[in-house]
Amino acid sequence: MVRFITPFSPESEKVAPASTGRDGFSLVDMLVALLLLATIAGLTMSFYNQLRTLKRIESVAADQMEMDALSSFLEETIRKAMPLPLLQSAEADQHFLIGTPTSILLVGLSRQGTRAIGLRELTFVLRGDRQNMILVQESRPRRLAEASRNSFASSINLTDGVRSIRFEYMAYDPVTYDPVWSDTWTSARTLPEAVRFQMLVERNGETIAVTGYTDLLLSQGWSLPATAQR
């Protein structure tokens, strides 16, 4: 019998290490990982909430600026009301301005096209249903026949989401000369001394209060008694 003897090799003596029972992640490792994930999630939610708050503030500020611009437009238009008779009023009982709590009709300057400006009868009134009332400016020319006036009439939606609007008109008491406010104006051949209004508009779930006040430029001398003018 022939016996082969192989030379000694270190690799032939290697033995697989015994398992120590510490393979993979320990419980402490898992807790640390969960703590890191919770911290990251908390920071992310905090940032997201701050971003939402900033967006909401930005939206409210933009809506408030829009309402302020609308208030200024109404004030400026009413301030320049002209002491001219409305075409719908009777010859013997001419009115320069007709006002109710929710609408106002006057003669004023309005842009026609891109350059021309002319006298038109302007009405600010609420249209639509209670769910979405719209403040509308209606405009009709003065120097045309009735049929032509209607065909050239125009309407502009100023803002939607209006919940309420209230106009009030001021004149001086003929005896005491104290200012007296009323929610209607039907005095013939007379402009009110001042007009104020309050409007509530809903935007993105927020209610915005819009207020305005203006003196009428051409009212002086039209409603004050002669003794009060001195």
**Tokens standing for residue 111:** 């842009």
> What pTM was computed for the model?
0.71
Identify residue 128 by its one-letter amino acid code. Answer: G
> What per-residue confidence (pLDDT) applies to 6?
54
> What per-residue confidence (pLDDT) applies to 88?
76
**Average pLDDT value for residue range 129-156:** 78
Instruction: Please list the residues that pair with 181 across neighbouring strands.
Output: 170
**Average pLDDT value for residue range 48-52:** 79
**Average pLDDT value for residue range 163-182:** 94
Whole-Å CA distances, 78 to 100, 186, 226: 14, 16, 25
**Average pLDDT value for residue range 44-67:** 81
For residue 66, how far is the Cα from the chain centroid? 5
> What per-residue confidence (pLDDT) applies to 49?
80
- 82-114 pLDDT, tens digit each: 999 988 777 777 899 999 999 999 999 877 656
> What per-residue confidence (pLDDT) applies to 33?
86
As a whole number of angstroms, the distance between CA 122 and CA 27 comes to: 78
- Tell me the HSE value of 161 on the side-chain side, using a 13 A CA sphere: 15
Angle at alpha carbon of residue 40, lines to 38 and 44, rounded to 5°: 115
- Cβ count within 10 A of residue 176: 9
Instruction: Mark residue 177 as left, alpha or beta (left: phi above 0; alpha: psi -120 to 50; beta: remaining).
Output: left
pLDDT over 50 (residue 34) = yes
Pairing of strands 103-112, 116-127: antiparallel
> What per-residue confidence (pLDDT) applies to 92?
72
> What per-residue confidence (pLDDT) applies to 144?
59
- 1-24 pLDDT, tens digit each: 555 555 555 555 555 555 555 566
> What per-residue confidence (pLDDT) applies to 228?
42
- Average pLDDT along the chain: 81
